[in-house]
Amino acid sequence: MKYSEAKQGRTFILRLEDGEIIHETVENFAREKNINSASLIILGGADKNSKLVVGPKDGRAEQIEPMEHGLNNVHEIAGVGTLFPNENEDPILHMHITAGRKNSAVTGCIRRGIKTWLITEIILTEIKDTSAHRKRDPESGFTLLEP
């Protein structure tokens, strides 16, 4: 385990509107407000044709191949995420949500594009006094958090 200590900064209450792509909207907001790091909670609606990354195809295979799941209709969503800068100092959102409709649900990462259906609410809590950042890991190909 690796860890670091930080302090809580500002808290923002966001309402994303119909059609906004969640990760793009949050990352743009972070740039505008000079937010480098944050924790987030989210709830609301995801529109049809939104896409989730739902795991690697073959688990611990030598070559990791992500699987994608498209939402074929509007879904209710709830999730959590973190925002940290990458090696270029760009704020990068890593968020997982559960998307449900009627009697089925799917959970995954939003990086492939979750489009807001009507409204999505986010509580973003800034993290201050941290050097934590995301760094590309050559072995896995993932951009990992370095606390």
Q: Does residue 114 sit within a domain?
A: yes
Amino acid at 63: Q
Q: Looking at the domain assignment, is residue 146 inside a domain?
A: no
Q: What is the mean pLDDT of residues 138-146?
A: 91
Number of domains in the chain: 1
Summarize the confidence of residues 1-8 as an average pLDDT: 96
pTM of the model: 0.96
Average pLDDT over residues 55-74: 93
| Mean pLDDT (whole number) for 33-54 | 98
Residue 50 buriedness (CB in 10 A; 0-12 / 13-18 / 19+): buried
Q: What three-state secondary structure class fits 25?
A: helix
User: Which CATH number do you get for residue 27?
Assistant: 3.30.1330.80
Tell me, yes or no, whether 74 lies in a domain: yes
Q: What is the pLDDT of residues 81-112, one digit of tens each?
A: 999 999 999 999 999 999 999 999 999 999 99
Tokens of 133: 């950042």
